[in-house]
């Protein structure tokens, strides 16, 4: 943790440690975001968090497809493990908070002709059981991945965005994107001559085209399935306020935590593999000393048909 506390006492404390910590919380002097990341199973980590303490829970769980960080299991068992984690996430979710569960397909077995099972369809009922409300099913489109020969190559995954109640934090202005025709004006009626679009830009919509983190991506680490930080930043900026807390219970190398602290939010997360958590800490330290490279939000996707790929 990076924060320093001022307890305001020079002599031996008179209160029990618990009371001191409560006092300390209200006189926090270092406004740096809190980072708490641990190498542990997420149920253990989640159980250590207070009810309703997290404003945004953003994660991408294993898909049960035999990656090096997961043990393949039956789909029934996979779903029951997901159900246990989701139940704890709902408990720690703030009343005005959001859960964003990013998933692709579970593939029946490692073969080209295996049936695919879209995980958002299978997981949706586990969120509804808790009364959560689906706000968007965001399509994340990317252009790189396996080339299939017996079905179409997968080039999208989804983010299910749920809120706990109908009164939830959502700041659209913080994630607007440039309008296609920014100077377009009404040509008749009482507003004739005035701008017809929002000068702050347009709603980014629910199809997001963001490069996935492959070999030549500036954020690439050893992890095989990293979030691009810019993907998480959109969620952090729109669904939380400065000083709120963001949690990733399947944190990997900490991309969600980076997106949180980069924007003045507190970052919480865990991963079962210590090696990934070590990399996450390295990234946090690099961020703090100003050396971490992240792909900027809004940078156009590289287009080989344009000069310099369309980049300035």
Ligand X SMILES: C[S@@+](CC[C@H](N)C(=O)[O-])C[C@H]1O[C@@H](n2cnc3c(N)ncnc32)[C@H](O)[C@@H]1O
Owner of token pair 């679009």: 197
Minimum distance, C-beta of residue 158 to ligand X, in the bound complex (Å): 14
DSSP conformation class of 294: -
Minimum distance, C-beta of residue 241 to ligand X, in the bound complex (Å): 23
Binding mask 33-72 for ligand X (x = CB under 6 A): --------xx-----------------xxx------xx--
| Residues counted in the chain | 312
Minimum distance, C-beta of residue 276 to ligand X, in the bound complex (Å): 5
**In this structure, what token pair is assigned to residue 298?**
């809004």
Alpha helices in 28-118 (DSSP H): 42-47, 75-92
Minimum distance, C-beta of residue 279 to ligand X, in the bound complex (Å): 8
Which residue lies nearer to ligand X by CB, 64 or 240?
Answer: 64
Q: Which of 23, 272, 292, 297 binds ligand X (CB under 6 A)?
A: 272
Judge contact between 120 and 160, C-beta under 8 A: yes
Residue number of the CB closest to ligand X reads 252
Report d(CA 151, CA 172) in Å as an integer: 37
CA-nearest of 67, 60, 157, 65 to 104 is 157
Report d(CA 140, CA 108) in Å as an integer: 22
Owner of token pair 């369809």: 121
Examine residue 170 and tell whether it contacts ligand X (CB under 6 A): no
Query: Which one of 116-124, 154-162, 169-177, 219-227 is the stretch in contact with ligand X (CB under 6 A)?
Result: 219-227
Examine residue 225 and tell whether it contacts ligand X (CB under 6 A): yes
Minimum distance, C-beta of residue 247 to ligand X, in the bound complex (Å): 12
Judge contact between 58 and 90, C-beta under 8 A: no
- Total number of residues that touch ligand X (CB under 6 A): 20
**Binding residues among 243-262 for ligand X as defined by CB under 6 A:** 250, 252-253, 255
Report d(CA 234, CA 255) in Å as an integer: 13
Examine residue 104 and tell whether it contacts ligand X (CB under 6 A): no
Interacting residues with ligand X (CB under 6 A):
41-42, 60-62, 69-70, 223, 225-227, 250, 252-253, 255, 270-273, 276
């Amino acid at each position: 943790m990076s924060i320093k506390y001022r307890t305001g006492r020079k002599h031996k404390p008179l209160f029990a440690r618990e009371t001191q910590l409560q006092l300390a919380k209200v006189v926090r002097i270092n406004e740096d975001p809190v980072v708490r990341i641990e190498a542990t199973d997420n149920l253990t980590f989640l159980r250590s968090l207070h009810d309703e303490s997290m404003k945004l829970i953003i994660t991408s769980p294993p898909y049960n497809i035999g990656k090096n960080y997961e043990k393949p299991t039956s789909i029934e068992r996979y779903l029951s493990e997901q159900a246990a984690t989701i139940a704890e996430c709902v408990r720690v979710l703030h009343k005005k908070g959001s859960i964003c569960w990013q998933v692709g397909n579970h593939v029946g077995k490692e073969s080209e002709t295996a049936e695919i099972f879209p995980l958002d369809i299978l997981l949706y009922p586990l969120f509804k059981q808790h009364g959560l409300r689906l706000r968007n099913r965001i399509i994340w489109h990317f252009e790189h991945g396996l080339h299939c020969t017996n079905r179409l190559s997968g080039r999208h995954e989804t983010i299910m965005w749920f809120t706990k109640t109908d009164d939830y934090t959502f700041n659209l202005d913080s994630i607007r994107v440039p309008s296609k025709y920014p100077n377009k004006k009404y040509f008749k009626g009482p507003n004739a001559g005035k701008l017809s679009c929002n000068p702050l830009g347009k709603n980014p919509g629910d199809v997001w085209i963001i490069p996935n983190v492959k070999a030549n991506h500036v954020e690439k680490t050893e992890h095989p399935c990293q979030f691009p930080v810019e993907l998480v930043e959109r969620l952090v900026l729109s669904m939380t306020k400065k000083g709120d807390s963001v949690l990733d219970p399947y944190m990997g190398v900490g991309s969600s935590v980076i997106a949180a602290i980069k924007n003045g939010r507190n970052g919480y997360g865990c991963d079962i593999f210590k090696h990934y958590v070590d990399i996450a800490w390295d990234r946090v330290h690099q961020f703090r000393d100003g050396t971490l490279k992240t792909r900027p939000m809004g940078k156009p996707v590289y287009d080989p048909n344009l000069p310099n790929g369309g980049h300035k």
